[in-house]
Amino acid sequence: MKKASLVVMISGNGSNLQAIIDAIQAKNLPAEIKAVISNTREAYGLERAKQAGIPTTIKAKRKDQDREQYDAELADIVKTHQPDFVILAGWMRILTMSFISAFPNRIINLHPALPGTFPGVHAIERAWQAYQNKEISHTGVMVHLVPDEGVDLGPVLAQKVVDIYPKDTLEDLEKRVHHCEHELLVETIHKTILQTEENNA
């Protein structure tokens, strides 16, 4: 079976990138990461990529460019790798159509909350706070396609509930959510690769 080629886009720690790397190395995911792209040089995920021998690119937005220009240049970089899928694993910039339209049905985003809840930044912290305020009883994780500029919005590929307990600190909840997303992201990429193979057979 041909390996799916991935470009993984990150902005931070890269623990989800690491989960993908580990799954590939353990031969649990028939994929190859062609490149890791970060919008900031501070992202620790770049170090993880280097340690795994994966090429990295830092593409920061210049002050003189608008979002569309930046996204068009970003798309050009990603296109050189001809990815089957572009994985947004903690990519914290909102993408415009000048990026998105270059990869129809091929951009997969991970968000640490259930569909329709806590879009944007600090989702886990906001869920923890909402639980303290008795507004929610649980949270979750989702993986979805990115069809347009909606933030953390799009056809859901997978979702999983994450429990919250009365004694949880924010750190406890963060650990539980991250553990869940590491598994769900890898599982969902795997499922999507297999489904795409089947559809193309």
State in angstroms the smallest separation of the CB of 17 from ligand GAR.
Answer: 6
In angstroms, the CA 144 to CA 185 distance is: 10
| Total chain residues near ligand GAR (CB under 6 A) | 16
State in angstroms the smallest separation of the CB of 91 from ligand GAR.
Answer: 7
Of the two residues 168 and 197, which places its CB atom closer to ligand GAR in the complex? 168
Structure tokens at 61: 């937005």
Structure tokens at 163: 């429990």
State in angstroms the smallest separation of the CB of 9 from ligand GAR.
Answer: 11
Query: Which residues are CB-neighbours of 134 under 8 A, at least 6 positions away?
Result: none
Query: Which residues are CB-neighbours of 200 under 8 A, at least 6 positions away?
Result: none
Task: Please identify which residue in 21, 56, 100, 181 interacts with ligand GAR, judged by CB under 6 A.
Answer: 181
Of the two residues 30 and 119, which places its CB atom closer to ligand GAR in the complex? 119
Choose the stretch contacting ligand GAR; rule: CB under 6 A; options: 5-13, 30-38, 53-61, 162-170.
5-13
Question: Which of positions 87-126 make contact with ligand GAR (CB under 6 A)?
Answer: 89-90, 110-112, 120, 123
State in angstroms the smallest separation of the CB of 114 from ligand GAR.
Answer: 12
Q: Which amino acid is at 183?
A: E
Of the two residues 80 and 161, which places its CB atom closer to ligand GAR in the complex? 161
Per-residue contact track with ligand GAR, 74 to 93, x per CB under 6 A?
---------------xx---
Structure tokens at 68: 């569309």
State in angstroms the smallest separation of the CB of 107 from ligand GAR.
Answer: 13
- C-alpha triplet 160, 161, 167: angle, nearest 5°: 145
In angstroms, the CA 83 to CA 122 distance is: 29
Task: Please identify which residue in 4, 6, 16, 143 interacts with ligand GAR, judged by CB under 6 A.
Answer: 16
Q: Which amino acid is at 19?
A: A
Dmax over CA atoms of the chain, in Å, equals 50
Q: What's the alpha-carbon Rg for the chain, to the nearest Å?
A: 17
Task: Please identify which residue in 96, 152, 186, 189 interacts with ligand GAR, judged by CB under 6 A.
Answer: 152
Residues that bind ligand GAR (CB under 6 A): 10, 12-16, 45, 89-90, 110-112, 120, 123, 152, 181
